[in-house]
Structure formats: structure tokens, C-alpha cells
């Protein structure tokens, strides 16, 4: 049984890698896409921003619509859509079709992740669930870390189409593995849409959503400009910047593993201490960001915290709505994407108004506000308070 569970979780991790690869890998090949379609790099960037925006919108709705469908069939459907969309991207010469081939899989993206997190959590005991979910997040981090450099390398050495073929092949492998290795997974107790939507009536759900939007804004509002920061403030070469980004990504994988263990031990303590730890990193970054060696050490610590943060976000929302896990995972995906969008926009504003060094302010402001909502949820929904009512 344990062996089968490990195989199931490994396949889910590989699936997460394949889908995030498709989403994030495009970042590494935007100049090649711009050349291929004869457009500006900023216009090519629509392939990234429209994908994220679509996931934000479809996050709560699609898992809800698919909540009664056999999970194996739903996942195969999503993976099939990703494979076909990547194949279309290889052969199209029309940028409008390329955008459509990005937006359509993004609509179904939350269905896969929602099912993957729920299945991973259900494959073990309730106490061990955060550990199982953290393993799926390793695939997410690996997709972000490896997807960008692999896609960039393939595009620069062969062609942009080969990068898209790489995305298609990874998703096709996961499709076959899911088809062969997964048992049929019909939904035994289908929750009505009303039951699932009723979690939105609870204050704990909204306090958790706002906290997660702010936490993700704190991480990605700054991380989105890390390359720019390293270039203009730390003043290091392109190769060194690439190395720093790999350090950050590798550290976030370590963070995923650590988070699974810490959430299992004492989740509330971890969530409350997280904004203070990340805030300290940002203050040190602001003071010592000009120096290469301290910057490398900070990037390592920051990456570990970013990995922990992703797990915290998923736990914080799903623990607020344990009765509707698929819908809760959809809300989590929407919240983190919205947080990334807001954080990146505000971070860009600080940079244009004050300079690159001051991008830290979006992180610190988001963290201060997140503490308010975390403590508010803990105060209003602590077990002792609940018991005394």
C-alpha cells in the first residue's frame, strides 16, 4: 500500500512539474517567441500574464464544476489538453492562435492541481497530509527552477519550437503514467455546489484568502524583480544572475520538504512566525544587497522561505474549508495568482517611483498586513475560543 501511495505521489509530482513547466518555462524563451512572431518582448509577455490571469479566474470555478467527475478521468483530460495545446504552439505562425493555445490549458490548470493536492492529502493519514502535499509542491518548484533554464537552453541552441516540444513530451509522459499507474478514482461522496460554496459564508475563509494574497504578494512582488535587482543593485554579470536564480529555486525545493515536516509538527506556530522571518530577510537584503557574497547567502535563505511560504498558503486555505477540499484548493490557486499579480504591479510602481532597491517595500508592507489577518483568524477561530462559546 505504501509503495503504491509513493508511486501515486511521485506521478502527481511529475504532473505538477509538467504543467508548471508549460506555465513558467515560457519566461525563459520570451525573446525567441518575440523573434518568431515578429513582435515586441512585452507583447510576447502576454503569454505569461494571460495564463496567470486565466488561472486566477478559473481557480474557484473549474474545480467546482469538475468536483463530481472521476479524478483519474479529469486529470487525463487536463493533461491531454496541455499536450494538444503545446503541439499547436509548435506549429503555429499566428500569435493570436499562440495566445489561444495558452489560455485554453490555463482554464483547466486548476482542475489538475486541485485534484492532485486532494489526492495526495487523502493517500495518507490526516496528520501526515501536509507532508504528502509538500511532495507535490516539489514538482511545482522544480517546474519553476528547471523549466525556465531548460526551455531557454533549448531555444538558444536549437529553436523555440523544440522548447515547446519539450513541454509537450513531459506532459505526454505524465499522461501515460497517469493512465497506466492510477486506479479509477470515482468521487464517492459528491458534495453539492451549495455545500461547497457555503464555505464562502464563513469569515475564516475570507481571512485566510486575504492573508494568502498578501503572503504571495510579499514573496513574488519582490522575487519577480530579483534578476533586475541583481543586475542594477548587486551589479553582477548575467551568468552570476542565472546562478543566483538557480540557488533560489533549489532552495525553494528544500523549503517544500522542510515545510511538510514543520506543518505536521506545529502549523499555527509556523504560519505566525513566517512573516517575521521573511521580513528580517528583506531588511537584511535592503541593507546588504549591494554585496555579492551576503546576497548569495540571503538568496539561499530567501529561497527556502519562499518554498515554505507556498506550502503555508495551501495549508492556510484548505484548513479553513476542510469540508470542501477541491473548492478550497481552487480558492488557493486563485489567491496565489492574484497575490502575484498585485505584488508584481505594486513592486513595479515602487521601482519606477523610487528605484530598484526599494522593491523591498512591497514585500514588507504585504507582510505587515498579512500578520494582521493571520492573527485575526487565530483570535476569532482558536479552539479555546470556539470551545468557550
Note whether 351 and 228 are within 8 A (CB).
yes
For the chain, what is the radius of gyration of the CA atoms?
A: 20
pLDDT at 287: 92
What does the alpha-carbon distance between residue 387 and residue 389 come to, in Å, rounded to a whole number? 6
pLDDT at 254: 92
Mean pLDDT by 10 residues, the chain (389 residues): 76 88 77 83 78 86 84 92 93 91 92 86 80 84 77 80 89 92 76 72 90 93 81 81 83 89 89 96 91 91 93 90 82 87 84 84 94 91 46
Which element (helix H / strand E) includes 26? none
Q: Which three cell numbers stand for residue 308?
A: 515554505
- pLDDT tens for 34-59 read 888 888 876 887 887 788 888 888 98
pLDDT at 189: 66
What does the alpha-carbon distance between residue 263 and residue 280 come to, in Å, rounded to a whole number? 21
pLDDT at 374: 94
pLDDT at 214: 95
Which residues touch 183 (CB under 8 Å, ≥6 apart)? 72
Q: Which three cell numbers stand for residue 249?
A: 529555486
pLDDT at 39: 83
Q: 268-301 burial, b for 16+ CB within 10 Å, e for fewer?
A: eebbeebbebbbebbebbbeebeeeeebeebbbb
pLDDT at 36: 85
Helix 360-380 × helix 325-354 angle, to 10°: 150
What does the alpha-carbon distance between residue 188 and residue 281 come to, in Å, rounded to a whole number? 46
Q: Which three cell numbers stand for residue 44?
A: 510576447
pLDDT at 383: 52
pLDDT at 271: 94
Which residues touch 388 (CB under 8 Å, ≥6 apart)? none
Amino acid at each position: 500500500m505504501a509503495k503504491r501511495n509513493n508511486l501515486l505521489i511521485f506521478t502527481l509530482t511529475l504532473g505538477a512539474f509538467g504543467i508548471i513547466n508549460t506555465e513558467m518555462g515560457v519566461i525563459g524563451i520570451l525573446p525567441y517567441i518575440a523573434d518568431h512572431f515578429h513582435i515586441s518582448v512585452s507583447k510576447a509577455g502576454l503569454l505569461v500574464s494571460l495564463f496567470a490571469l486565466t488561472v486566477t479566474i478559473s481557480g474557484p470555478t473549474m474545480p467546482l464544476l469538475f468536483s463530481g467527475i472521476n479524478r483519474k478521468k479529469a486529470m487525463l483530460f487536463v493533461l491531454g489538453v496541455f499536450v494538444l495545446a503545446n503541439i499547436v504552439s509548435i506549429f503555429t505562425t499566428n500569435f493570436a492562435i499562440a495566445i489561444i493555445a495558452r489560455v485554453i490549458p490555463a482554464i483547466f490548470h486548476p482542475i489538475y492541481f486541485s485534484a492532485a493536492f486532494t489526492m495526495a492529502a487523502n493517500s495518507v493519514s490526516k496528520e501526515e497530509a501536509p507532508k504528502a502535499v509538500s511532495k507535490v509542491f516539489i514538482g511545482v518548484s522544480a517546474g519553476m527552477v528547471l523549466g525556465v533554464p531548460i526551455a531557454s537552453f533549448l531555444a538558444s541552441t536549437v529553436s523555440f519550437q523544440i522548447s515547446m516540444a519539450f513541454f509537450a513530451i513531459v506532459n505526454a509522459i505524465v499522461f501515460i503514467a497517469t493512465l497506466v499507474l492510477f486506479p479509477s478514482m470515482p468521487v464517492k461522496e459528491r458534495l453539492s455546489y451549495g455545500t461547497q460554496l457555503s464555505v464562502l459564508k464563513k469569515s475564516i475563509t475570507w481571512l485566510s484568502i486575504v492573508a494568502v494574497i498578501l503572503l504571495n504578494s510579499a514573496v513574488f512582488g519582490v522575487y519577480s524583480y530579483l534578476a533586475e535587482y541583481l543586475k542594477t543593485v548587486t551589479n553582477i554579470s548575467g551568468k552570476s544572475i542565472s546562478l543566483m536564480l538557480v540557488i533560489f529555486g533549489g532552495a525553494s525545493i528544500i523549503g517544500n520538504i522542510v515545510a511538510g515536516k514543520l506543518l505536521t509538527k506545529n502549523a499555527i506556530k509556523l504560519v505566525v512566525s513566517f512573516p517575521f522571518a521573511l521580513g528580517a530577510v528583506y531588511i537584511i537584503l535592503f541593507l546588504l544587497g549591494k554585496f555579492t557574497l551576503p546576497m548569495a547567502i540571503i538568496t539561499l535563505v530567501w529561497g527556502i522561505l519562499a518554498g515554505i511560504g507556498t506550502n503555508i498558503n495551501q495549508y492556510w486555505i484548505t484548513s479553513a474549508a476542510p469540508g470542501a477540499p477541491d473548492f478550497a484548493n481552487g480558492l488557493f490557486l486563485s489567491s496565489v495568482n492574484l497575490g502575484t499579480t498585485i505584488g508584481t504591479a505594486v513592486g513595479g510602481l515602487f521601482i519606477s517611483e523610487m528605484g530598484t532597491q526599494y522593491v523591498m517595500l512591497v514585500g514588507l508592507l504585504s507582510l505587515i498586513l498579512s500578520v494582521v489577518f493571520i492573527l485575526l483568524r487565530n483570535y476569532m477561530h482558536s479552539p479555546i475560543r470556539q470551545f468557550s462559546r
